[in-house]
Amino acid sequence: MNSLNIELSDKEFLFFKTMVFDEVGITLNNSKKILVASRLLKRLLHFKLNNYAQYIKILQENSLETTKMINLITTNETYFFREHAHFEFLEKIAKESSQLRVWSAASSIGAEAYSTAFILDTYIDSSSWQVMGSDINSEVIDQAKKGLYSENLVEKIPSKYKNKYCLKGSDNHEGEFIIDRKLTKKVDFFISNLLNKNSSIGEFDIIFLRNVLIYFDNETKEIVIENILHNLKIGGYLIISLTENLQFLKSNSFKQIKNSIYQRIK
């Protein structure tokens, strides 16, 4: 089968677009058609299919394949200490706090959650901090739990944290590094859909929700923020991406204290 000859029709793209929105609330605009075709081509090759219509039939008959499809579509690039200003803010808060709970609400492969853990463990007693990470993508959550990464990702980690918490891999893990096991044991990762409330995880002092809102329409953004509010303490901080804002919100639950950093006021 020549994969270069497999084209994704507008009708087929509409099917995937609708399914992704229904499952996780993510809006795929037309510019994402090539990305969708490229990522789902892996499943066509896996099943030895000739077209996307055949793959759609499998999706309609197999709910487990839906999870695989969502995992492929929602995999995004991330790295440690992304948007450094946010971690400078976190470091300042950590230095002033005796205990902190932080939730990385779209944690991907765990780089954000572990970056947070490096800081909290440095400035707060190990029994007085907690970091949780969640994502809709089960495969990236599995990777996050392992705490094992390609060596090229270590470059963004400040030396004071890299030297203390990152162990160079050897033998089977040559070219990789491992997060110190005392941290991987303390950071809890779980699968979560931001369209649903998380009543079981309690309240947090800080919630990271970065590079997520751009994938939702305004109505869905409202739902996501309302669910996040359920877990954010009054006085706590919501941190979004530097390229995002909360101008779409109808409520006045937040005040902006820095670019992309908001405090819950009620």
Hunting for tokens 């990305």 — which residue is that?
A: 35
Residues with a known catalytic role: 39, 135
Cα(184)–Cα(256) distance, integer angstroms: 32
Alpha carbon of 255 to those of 32, 250, 258, 263: distances in Å?
Answer: 33, 13, 9, 5
**Cα–Cα distance for residue pair 121/188, rounded to 1 Å:** 15
Angle (deg, nearest 10), helices 33-47 and 10-24: 90
CA dihedral (196, 87, 254, 250) in degrees, to 10, reads -50
Alpha helices in the chain, H assignment, sequence order: 10-24, 33-47, 52-61, 63-73, 84-95, 111-123, 138-146, 159-165, 181-184, 218-229
